[in-house]
């Protein structure tokens, strides 16, 4: 898939509307970061793209083809992988077994190359790994599906920034190889270092969209984007 596109997407949880009017593109070969305060609807939006939650209205397309009408499994077959929040490894299984659980059709095993430290621990039960190593397993497991679109939800949850700095370059490398990455990340500054484009979601709406570079250079602009002052950001970011 060369391009995932959301147009005027709205998502509800039960009767409660959570996300509205979201229009954004996630191109292959780029990292698109989705920032925003707690409760803004970032997880909700990723889940709707992956097919965990239904899209209430709007369009979700991959290279122009409708995806909203496909269920989660069909979207996964189209190459959409979701790395969910909260490191969901099978703690009793070894690292190798965790990876085997999802391996289908023999996509290349990227673990050794991307995470050499994990490759040495293949026979260790995943529950005995550090938080950062568990997150590497989760990422490696998603890669075993050879996704063309990778949706990553706060893989840094509970991890120290130094560990996050170790994980994010692997995400950048995948984008450089042609994967379309949509990254939700609480460490905004670290995420912006590897991102091409940034969108800020606040109160379920996109309050800022633009290249990552201006936000990377100026914490003030980032702050303004979080507060939903798009005019100011655009002016100075131009």
Q: Give residues in contact with ligand ATP (CB under 6 A).
A: 13, 18, 36, 38-44
Nearer to ligand ATP, 18 or 129 (CB): 18
Min dist. Cβ of residue 62 to ligand ATP (A): 22
Min dist. Cβ of residue 189 to ligand ATP (A): 16
Nearer to ligand ATP, 15 or 238 (CB): 15
Q: How far apart are CA 190 and CA 113, in angstroms?
A: 22
Nearer to ligand ATP, 42 or 121 (CB): 42
Min dist. Cβ of residue 64 to ligand ATP (A): 27
Min dist. Cβ of residue 198 to ligand ATP (A): 15
Min dist. Cβ of residue 105 to ligand ATP (A): 32
Nearer to ligand ATP, 137 or 188 (CB): 188
**Angle formed by the axes of helices 219-226 and 230-237, nearest 10°:** 150
Nearer to ligand ATP, 44 or 111 (CB): 44
Q: Are 10 and 20 in contact (CB under 8 A)?
A: yes
Q: How far apart are CA 109 and CA 119, in angstroms?
A: 10
Residue with tokens 């950062």: 132
Q: What residues have CB less than 8 Å from 147, skipping those under 6 apart? A: 79, 80, 81, 179
Q: Are 144 and 103 in contact (CB under 8 A)?
A: yes
Ranges assigned E (strand) in the chain: 3-13, 16-27, 31-35, 57-62, 65-66, 80-83, 149-153, 180-184, 197-202, 205-211
Could you write out the DSSP letters of every residue in 32-70? EEEE--TTSSHHHHHHHHHTSS---EEEEEETTEE-TTS
Min dist. Cβ of residue 137 to ligand ATP (A): 21
| Closest of 40, 39, 45 to residue 22, by C-alpha | 45
Nearer to ligand ATP, 36 or 51 (CB): 36
């Amino acid at each position: 898939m060369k391009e995932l596109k959301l147009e005027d997407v709205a998502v509800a949880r039960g009767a409660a509307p959570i996300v509205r009017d979201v229009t954004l593109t996630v191109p292959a070969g780029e990292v698109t970061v989705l920032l925003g305060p707690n409760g803004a609807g970032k997880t909700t939006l990723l889940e709707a793209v992956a097919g965990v939650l239904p899209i209430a209205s709007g369009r979700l397309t991959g290279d122009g083809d409708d995806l909203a009408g496909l269920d989660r499994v069909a979207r996964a077959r189209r190459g959409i992988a979701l790395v969910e929040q909260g490191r969901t490894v099978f703690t009793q299984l070894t690292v190798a077994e965790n990876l085997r659980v999802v391996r289908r059709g023999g996509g290349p095993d990227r673990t050794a190359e991307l995470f050499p430290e994990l490759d040495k621990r293949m026979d260790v039960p995943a529950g005995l790994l550090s938080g950062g190593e568990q997150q590497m397993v989760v990422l490696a497991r998603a890669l075993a599906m050879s996704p063309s679109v990778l949706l990553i939800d706060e893989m840094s949850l509970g991890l120290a920034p130094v560990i996050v700095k170790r994980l994010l370059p692997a995400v950048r490398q995948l984008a450089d190889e042609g994967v379309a990455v949509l990254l939700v990340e609480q460490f905004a500054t670290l995420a912006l270092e590897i991102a091409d484009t940034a969108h800020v979601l606040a109160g379920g709406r996109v309050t800022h969209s633009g290249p990552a570079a201006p936000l990377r250079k100026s914490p003030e602009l980032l702050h303004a984007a979080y507060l939903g002052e798009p005019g100011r950001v655009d002016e100075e970011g131009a």
